Homo-oligomer: A and B are copies of this chain.
Amino acid sequence: MNAPSTDAPVPAHEAVYRALRSQILDGELAPGASLTLRGVAERLGVSMTPAREAVRRLVAERALAMTDTGRVQVPLPDADALDELFRARSLLEPELAVRALPRIDKALISQLRAIDERLGSCLEAGDAAGYVRANNAFHGLLYSRAEAPALMALVESVWLQTSPVMRRVYGRTGTGALVDYHEAALDALAARDAEALAAAIRSDVEQGMMLAREAAPPGR
């Protein structure tokens, strides 16, 4: 019913988790929207038990937030929280990129270039969801070559928290005047220049932080 494309049988709670996760990453779940266990369960055709596990897993990853009374909703990080999250990204992601560098080949660079073009067209078309998805794909594909699952898990947890805001960002601003640091990263990749690669990734993340800051509720 959900995604029978893979031959490996996926447990119900895993399917629910993936569905919710991708909806959060793609910004289909608006920040502030509240979820109910029965609602999620019925929407995805399972009982409450796997729905609860998936929701709690996302809460553990801070992709969802729970009030002290157990109500679940998509969190909207304030400016301070965003500052923390993007700071974490600017510290961790260059490390992942540099670790991936030795394992990069021409084929991957062209894949990345293709994603970057799709990203550019989403930006022109004003397709915020597509932009966020392509951006995640770009970084995710690059970092996957680092073969660093523990670091990757940390970064993905941060993405889960920032994505809803980014969706909002690209949906509202004119998306103009954006420097394409992905190009710089690709050049550094081709030149096998670790220093330049780290700088490009860091700049890319920090540019995201600038944008996010404008669209987020003020901090304390």
Interface residues of A (CB under 8 A from B): 49, 52-53, 56-57, 60-62, 77, 81, 84-85, 87-88, 91-92, 95, 148-151, 153-154, 157-158, 161
Contacts and interface: CB of A to CB of B under 8 A. Distances in A.
Contact of A61 (B60, B85, B91): B60
A87 B95 contact: yes
A151 B87 contact: yes
Contact of A150 (B52, B62, B95, B151): B62
Contacts of A91: 91-92, 95
Contacts of A53: 52-53, 56
Please state the number of chain copies in the assembly. 2
A88 B85 CA distance: 14
Among A60, A77, A85, which residue has the most Cβ atoms of chain B within 10 A? A60
Contacts of A157: 153-154, 157
A154 B56 contact: no
Contacts of A154: 88, 154, 157-158
Contacts of A158: 150, 154
Among A52, A62, A150, which residue has the most Cβ atoms of chain B within 10 A? A150
Among A52, A57, A81, A88, which residue has the most Cβ atoms of chain B within 10 A? A88
A88 B151 CA distance: 7
Contacts of A52: 53
A81 B149 CA distance: 8
B161 A85 contact: no
Contacts of A150: 62, 77, 81, 84-85, 88, 158, 161
A60 B62 contact: no
Contacts of A77: 150
A92 B62 CA distance: 18
8 closest A-B pairs by CB: A60-B60, A84-B150, A91-B91, A57-B60, A84-B151, A84-B148, A85-B150, A81-B150
